[in-house]
Chain A
Amino acid sequence: MAENKGFDLVIKVGGEGGEGVITAGDFLTETAARAGYWAVNYKSYPAEIKGGYAQSTVRISDDRVYSTGDSFDILCAFNGEAVEKNMVFLKRAKDEAKPKVLVYDSTDYEPAQALENVIYYPVPLSELAKDVMKAYITKNIIALGVLSELFGIPEQSIKDAIKAKFMRKGEKIVELNYKAFDLGRQYVRENLQKKDPYKFPEPKTPEDVVIMEGNQAVAKGSIAAGVEFYAAYPITPATTVGNHIVMDLIKRGGWLYQAEDEIASLGMALGASFAGKKSMTATSGPGISLMSEFISYAGITELPIVIVDVQRGGPGTGMPTKHEQADLFVCAFGGHGDFPRAILAATTVEDNFYLAVEAFNLAEKYQIPVFLMTDGALAIRSEVFPTPKIEQRPDGKVVVKGNIPYGVDEIEVINRWVYNAEEDKEGKFRSPTGRFLRYKTDTPTGITPMGIPGDPNALHAITGLERTENTDPRFTPEIRVKQMNKRFRKLQTLLREDADRYYKDMRIDSDNADVAIISWGLTASIAREAAERLRKQGYTVNEFYPRLLWPVKAEVFEEFASKAKRVIVPETNYHGQFAFILRATTNLKDLISYVAYRGEAFIPKEIEDFVKMAIEKDIKKGWFTPSDVYGTVVGAI
């Protein structure tokens, strides 16, 4: 087993969309899982409907890793374009310790010159597919055979993955693909001499794992939470949350309704919530903008609702297929007026699963709009992670267990507080004339029971107008202040009772660390790797990856920050939105914003190099981008 330790390999497959590039990446991911290793697979689809450049970057490792690293070790290029697209990385090999490997389709491409520290393996992939297999469609499977033979990727594990994919189509199709796979292996044996050091270790007994994409994890988590109604309107990159949830939802007795627009989506989801159902919608930035009025309405009417924001590059139509974390402001501050809300943000696909459950819990417990923020890169990235376990107890209770990445043991699914006249014998929630007091202002938590249609004892109206305890519209200063205080008391309760469970992903190396990193969303998973590298180089690094971004429990951040010489907040938006919020809500004014807004995630090296620069130059505050580190326009990528 010892030789497995530290095994960490990044294979990138690139080529024309429709040539099976993404499928090849999926096969490698599944192969890793079947061979007992972890994998993270970042996919990048072309923006075009058909054709265009697609790639899949699969990082396979013995210890779990959460980013796809700085760059690939092995590039499998299905065409010349894939080589050209990655030329910048290949050229960089000369400055790196490890060589890069280029496996390329020699039918389509011949390198002009040999780059330093790059090992070339020409394979006529197209020719083999066309002339030998007589089936161009098998090109990606031939390539898998090549990769398997060259790098020792366990044959049986890949073949099992191939069989699992094609067995539905019949034995003949499975055999055809096995043949293509064997052809790739045979070609390597007969024509190539291994020159690189990369070797996949022996397969292990596989762990009990699942492979999910980010949006799929949101869908599955929501199902575990007991969602009953989902209103959908197509928008990249959020649409596939709906694709993944629709059939599960039907099987669980619920329904997905495809609305006519995003305004309607949230209106419908809130209607279902009013009717007593756990309800959600998922969208991206433009949809959030359209939903703003209803978000505010959910705030004043105190309807539980989960809104998933799969962020894309903004503003306007922006860059729909690109990564960015620039919707934090709109989720924290969008919608008119003051009202309580909560924001959770996922750092990995695995997070998406568990935070979906948590988002419903917060929405149902506090009767507020809850945002689950994720992004386009997480949406289509797939991860191998330990299988979540759902315990459905005889009393109806549901408990979610598993390797919950932010340090809690289990999540008990919470349902809203529904009024029960039997339990209210003394009439705490009834007026002297017997009317139901939906918005009683004197509960210590600010939370009051909901009346659900069908119950004769809780008749009431809801309105977006300010209202009395029994929901009659009224605007007197006294009523207004009491109702506002009631609503915001819920947030104080949340900070007191629930915030800490989202603040456990914190590591303190030293009370006077060289640097403290606070990060959120996908960037957190990249910062984590940078921190680990810095630590190996002798720096003391404190880390904090909160999953709850709003409201902010100031003292937790203040105490964390007090234990380091400087605090860096890396995030992928222009303003440094989370740092901005922290400066506004805590006494931390000297935060260092480190931002990228090019439509791609950071790579760990960019954070690592910036931290070293900040230490060296004794930077304590300000706003920086990778350009400040590398002196180029776009930074390291």
Chain B
Amino acid sequence: MAVLTAKDYRSEVEPTWCAGCGDFGVLNATARALAELQKDPAKVVGVSGIGCSSRLPLFLKGYNAHTLHGRAITFAIGVKVSRPDLDVIVFTGDGDMFSIGSGHNPHVARRNIDITIIMMDNKVYGLTKNQISPTSRDGQPGSLTPYGNIDGHVNPIMYMLTFGATYVAQTYAGNLKHMTKIIKEAIQHKGLSFVNIISPCPTFNKFDSYKYYKNHLIDINEDLGHTQLDDFNKAMEMAIHWDDNYRDPENAKAHIGVYYKVEKPTYHDRVEEVKARVGREENIQNLIDVCKPKAI
């Protein structure tokens, strides 16, 4: 097979995102990561829910499914469990994954399903035109909360660590190089990988701008010496500091980098153990005949 370039992973469909949307960067980084890994497009399945970010798989070449709001993970599990030979990547957003779809997060993680979840976190509902989301900052105005957000926020990193994800990282849509590296690692990771991508929405979220992140980003691995990646306690401690950025956005840094990376048996590994133990029955009739009165 000829060497594939990032272009070969892009479909003919042109993105409909606003100019300056961070999701363009995520699309580029994904295509690059796939090209660097020389993945066969026919064996990569992108699955998304509903929202600006969830349009992403439509712009990729391969087998892709744009599903229901909050349900991408469920569909992706069905694909992966029935076809472990495929690489499955979920593209989702903060509303899709942590509001309507949040009930699925614990279960995909605790089972260590070998898929990659890429969440584009713009801290706002964009497609429905500016409502606050579970990751919105305090005081952020939304069309349904014009008085400013009073809801509090979730910390996606801590949640996914707690639920049992075996690879957890955060990256930034404005840093193509870092993003590509993280996405690549996440796809290669055996087990449930979760990547939160800070993805600015210049249309509705004026605070979380490129300018803001330019001055606040810091790499936890390179700059803060977070290198013992299989230490869960250290990962949680580092993840707590993401809340600092919510408490004091002016002074606290915005973290990117890998929080946690550990090898554990995947769901599929365990399925294979069970299947080996149970064995196969080639003859369907035998499975019917067990319902006959037993020979004695």
B69 to chain A: closest residue by CB: A293
Which of B60, B61, B64, B74 contacts A462 (CB under 8 A)? B64
Contact residues in B for A51 (Cβ distance below 8 Å): none
Which residues of B242-296 are within 8 A (CB) of A?
271, 274-275, 278-281, 283-285, 287-289, 291-296
Contact residues in B for A164 (Cβ distance below 8 Å): 293-296
Contact A472 B13 (CB under 8 A): yes
B62 to chain A: closest residue by CB: A459
Contact residues in B for A464 (Cβ distance below 8 Å): 50, 66-68
Contact residues in B for A206 (Cβ distance below 8 Å): 293
Which residues of A244-299 are within 8 A (CB) of B?
247-248, 250-255, 257, 259-261, 263-277, 279, 293-294, 297
Contact residues in A for B279 (Cβ distance below 8 Å): 251
The answer, yes or no, to whether A160 is at the interface (CB within 8 Å) is yes
Which residues of B185-222 are within 8 A (CB) of A?
none
The answer, yes or no, to whether B128 is at the interface (CB within 8 Å) is no
Determine, out of A222-230, A487-495, A560-568, A626-634, the stretch whose residues face the partner at the interface. A222-230
Given contacts A453-B43, A459-B42, A473-B58, A435 and B12 within 8 Å (CB-CB): yes
Which of B80, B104, B292 contacts A387 (CB under 8 A)? B292
Contact residues in B for A388 (Cβ distance below 8 Å): 288
Question: What is the minimal beta-carbon distance from A566 to any residue of chain B, in angstroms?
Answer: 41
User: Which of under 10, 10 to 19, 20 to 34, or 35 or more describes the interface residues of B?
Assistant: 35 or more
Question: What is the minimal beta-carbon distance from A291 to any residue of chain B, in angstroms?
Answer: 11
In the docked arrangement, what's the CA distance between A464 and B49, Å? 10
In the docked arrangement, what's the CA distance between A389 and B80, Å? 33
The answer, yes or no, to whether A316 is at the interface (CB within 8 Å) is no
Which of B68, B83, B104 contacts A453 (CB under 8 A)? B83
Contact B78 A465 (CB under 8 A): no
Which label, helix, strand, loop or mixed, suits the secondary structure of the A interface? mixed
User: Which of under 10, 10 to 19, 20 to 34, or 35 or more describes the interface residues of A?
Assistant: 35 or more
The answer, yes or no, to whether A210 is at the interface (CB within 8 Å) is yes
In the docked arrangement, what's the CA distance between A395 and B75, Å? 32
Which residues of A37-88 are within 8 A (CB) of B?
none
Question: What is the minimal beta-carbon distance from B54 to any residue of chain A, in angstroms?
Answer: 10
Contact B77 A268 (CB under 8 A): yes
Contact A260 B103 (CB under 8 A): yes
Question: What is the minimal beta-carbon distance from B237 to any residue of chain A, in angstroms?
Answer: 29
Contact B64 A250 (CB under 8 A): no
Contact residues in A for B280 (Cβ distance below 8 Å): 251-253
The answer, yes or no, to whether B107 is at the interface (CB within 8 Å) is yes
In the docked arrangement, what's the CA distance between A231 and B103, Å? 16
Contact A271 B271 (CB under 8 A): no
Question: What is the minimal beta-carbon distance from B80 to any residue of chain A, in angstroms?
Answer: 8
Question: What is the minimal beta-carbon distance from B31 to any residue of chain A, in angstroms?
Answer: 14
Contact B285 A271 (CB under 8 A): no
Contact A293 B271 (CB under 8 A): no
Given contacts A251-B281, A390-B284, A463 and B58 within 8 Å (CB-CB): yes
In the docked arrangement, what's the CA distance between A456 and B57, Å? 17
Contact A279 B82 (CB under 8 A): yes
The answer, yes or no, to whether B236 is at the interface (CB within 8 Å) is no
A209 to chain B: closest residue by CB: B292
Contact residues in A for B6 (Cβ distance below 8 Å): none
Which of A275, A389, A460 contacts B86 (CB under 8 A)? A275
B275 to chain A: closest residue by CB: A250
Contact B71 A267 (CB under 8 A): yes
Contact residues in A for B143 (Cβ distance below 8 Å): none
Contact B68 A267 (CB under 8 A): yes
The answer, yes or no, to whether B76 is at the interface (CB within 8 Å) is yes
Contact B292 A294 (CB under 8 A): no
Contact residues in A for B80 (Cβ distance below 8 Å): 271
A451 to chain B: closest residue by CB: B63
In the docked arrangement, what's the CA distance between A211 and B288, Å? 10
The answer, yes or no, to whether A34 is at the interface (CB within 8 Å) is yes
In the docked arrangement, what's the CA distance between A461 and B60, Å? 9
Given contacts A293-B68, A472-B13, A228 and B82 within 8 Å (CB-CB): yes
Contact B66 A462 (CB under 8 A): yes
Contact A211 B284 (CB under 8 A): no
Contact residues in B for A478 (Cβ distance below 8 Å): none
The answer, yes or no, to whether A100 is at the interface (CB within 8 Å) is no
In the docked arrangement, what's the CA distance between A472 and B57, Å? 11
Given contacts A163-B296, A229-B82, A271 and B74 within 8 Å (CB-CB): yes
Contact B75 A271 (CB under 8 A): yes
Contact A248 B81 (CB under 8 A): no
A294 to chain B: closest residue by CB: B68
In the docked arrangement, what's the CA distance between A398 and B287, Å? 14
A391 to chain B: closest residue by CB: B285
Contact B104 A275 (CB under 8 A): no
In the docked arrangement, what's the CA distance between A415 and B71, Å? 27
Question: What is the minimal beta-carbon distance from B172 to any residue of chain A, in angstroms?
Answer: 27
In the docked arrangement, what's the CA distance between A163 and B294, Å? 9
Given contacts A164-B294, A268-B75, A463-B58, A220 and B288 within 8 Å (CB-CB): yes
The answer, yes or no, to whether B151 is at the interface (CB within 8 Å) is no
Contact B293 A275 (CB under 8 A): no
In the docked arrangement, what's the CA distance between A259 and B78, Å? 10
A31 to chain B: closest residue by CB: B293
Which of A167, A247, A297, A455 contacts B296 (CB under 8 A)? A167
The answer, yes or no, to whether A216 is at the interface (CB within 8 Å) is yes
Which of A216, A260, A263, A270 contacts B291 (CB under 8 A)? A216
A383-419 interface code vs B (CB 8 A; 1 in, 0 out)? 0000111101000001000000000000000000000
The answer, yes or no, to whether B233 is at the interface (CB within 8 Å) is no
In the docked arrangement, what's the CA distance between A461 and B58, Å? 6
Contact A387 B289 (CB under 8 A): yes
Which of B40, B42, B274, B280 has the largest number of chain A CB atoms within 10 A? B42
In the docked arrangement, what's the CA distance between A498 and B107, Å? 41
The answer, yes or no, to whether A6 is at the interface (CB within 8 Å) is no
Contact residues in A for B64 (Cβ distance below 8 Å): 460-462
Given contacts A33-B293, A164-B293, A461 and B66 within 8 Å (CB-CB): yes
Contact B78 A279 (CB under 8 A): yes
Question: What is the minimal beta-carbon distance from B276 to any residue of chain A, in angstroms?
Answer: 10
Contact residues in A for B75 (Cβ distance below 8 Å): 267-268, 270-271, 274
Question: What is the minimal beta-carbon distance from A216 to any residue of chain B, in angstroms?
Answer: 7
Contact B71 A294 (CB under 8 A): yes
Which residues of B32-64 are within 8 A (CB) of A?
40-43, 45-47, 50, 57-58, 60-64
Contact A272 B79 (CB under 8 A): yes
In the docked arrangement, what's the CA distance between A71 and B49, Å? 54
Given contacts A209-B292, A389-B285, A464-B68, A267 and B74 within 8 Å (CB-CB): yes
In the docked arrangement, what's the CA distance between A255 and B78, Å? 10
Contact residues in B for A259 (Cβ distance below 8 Å): 74, 107
The answer, yes or no, to whether A433 is at the interface (CB within 8 Å) is yes
In the docked arrangement, what's the CA distance between A167 and B296, Å? 8
In the docked arrangement, what's the CA distance between A273 and B291, Å? 29
The answer, yes or no, to whether B223 is at the interface (CB within 8 Å) is no
B78 to chain A: closest residue by CB: A271
Which of B50, B60, B63 has the largest number of chain A CB atoms within 10 A? B63
The answer, yes or no, to whether A454 is at the interface (CB within 8 Å) is yes
Contact residues in A for B296 (Cβ distance below 8 Å): 160, 163-164, 167
B70 to chain A: closest residue by CB: A263
The answer, yes or no, to whether B11 is at the interface (CB within 8 Å) is yes
The answer, yes or no, to whether A499 is at the interface (CB within 8 Å) is no
Contact residues in A for B289 (Cβ distance below 8 Å): 210, 387
Contact residues in B for A34 (Cβ distance below 8 Å): 293
B283 to chain A: closest residue by CB: A392
Contact B284 A392 (CB under 8 A): yes
The answer, yes or no, to whether A123 is at the interface (CB within 8 Å) is no
Contact residues in B for A254 (Cβ distance below 8 Å): 82
6 closest cross-chain pairs (CB), A and B: A271-B78, A267-B74, A268-B78, A461-B64, A272-B82, A210-B291
Given A263-B71, A451-B63, 5 more contacts at CB 8 Å?
A268-B75, A272-B81, A276-B83, A293-B68, A454-B83
23 pairs, CB–CB < 8 Å, chain A vs chain B: A164-B293, A220-B288, A220-B291, A223-B284, A252-B280, A252-B284, A257-B78, A264-B103, A265-B74, A267-B75, A270-B75, A271-B78, A272-B81, A272-B82, A274-B45, A275-B86, A276-B82, A279-B82, A301-B65, A389-B285, A390-B284, A459-B61, A461-B58
